[in-house]
Structure 1
């Protein structure tokens, strides 16, 4: 047999009210706990009757130290120097010189000391450079007639400029032919051969005298 409840005795309808009421009580207790203050009066002392002696302290004046005395000034020692004795010297000048107005004084010309040049000295720069007979056009014509393009360089397609250095002696002959920069393929050897077999050059001059001069010339190889 089921138990029957009256609507007034049903508490499930009032759960919201009880929840809000419990929440309000909890918040109130928390605020009370934070705001609660307690004071301990057992160890407090009354400082009103304590007599202080601060006013009885004497003002201590600042001690002023006198400045140090200045260092003693050393007086310079004055030595007595006897008067200098004036010595009179008699200088006799003999003006008995027979000068004629027609005397002509030659102007002295100071010439530069002669420059001693070594016979075997090789110059890089001179006043008059060596020249090939007929000039550079004749030199280029000599190269066209005597220079042969190496077969190896032609087959390998090598072309470029070979730089040769040599010495032109005082008699115009060519000496000490060396390779300065080459391109290979037989072109270097061919350039040296042609320069060594060149005819005599006009020698270079320094101060009007023939001297040995070092020359540097390019020889170009180009496939036609």
Structure 2
């Protein structure tokens, strides 16, 4: 019996080949669809450049040095010279009345001694004050002496730097003696701190030689007190 279908037109003859070809075509279309890329009209794609790590320039580290604030300026010292304020010691008044119970001394028993003047007199009580150089023709030599003392202190004054840094200030009382030959000696001082005392001693030690003071027309030692005030603004 002859077959009704034409063997040349049998579709099942190359079915495996068609299947493989179709599968390859589908895979090709899927690959193309996955790899398809679209770009904006105005954008330009330049690709990517791989740069090795060795060629990458690192950003330098910047350290800002903070400068300390300038030191606070030290306030300039203020010199204040105080006039001689030593109190005058009043003489003690002794009663001259005789007591009847006391034994009367005979005239022959009285020994008369030579009376000498006092060796040292305070500046306030001196009859003829010592003459500071430059006060020879002054009418009031005591006032001129005190004014010259102030000028001498202002001229030679130096506030000790350690005392300024520590804020030390106060009053230093100085006392010295003008000898019979006009030289300065026996410098004594008392103050709140040794730094100020040392400076006061240095100032008084630079006093010039003077004309000595006189009591009863004789040269005597004259004591003088001069306060010096160290003050910071």
TM-score range, shorter chain: 0.3 to 0.5
Q: Say which one has the larger Rg.
A: 1
Bigger RCO of structures 1 and 2 (CA < 8 A, at least 6 apart): 2
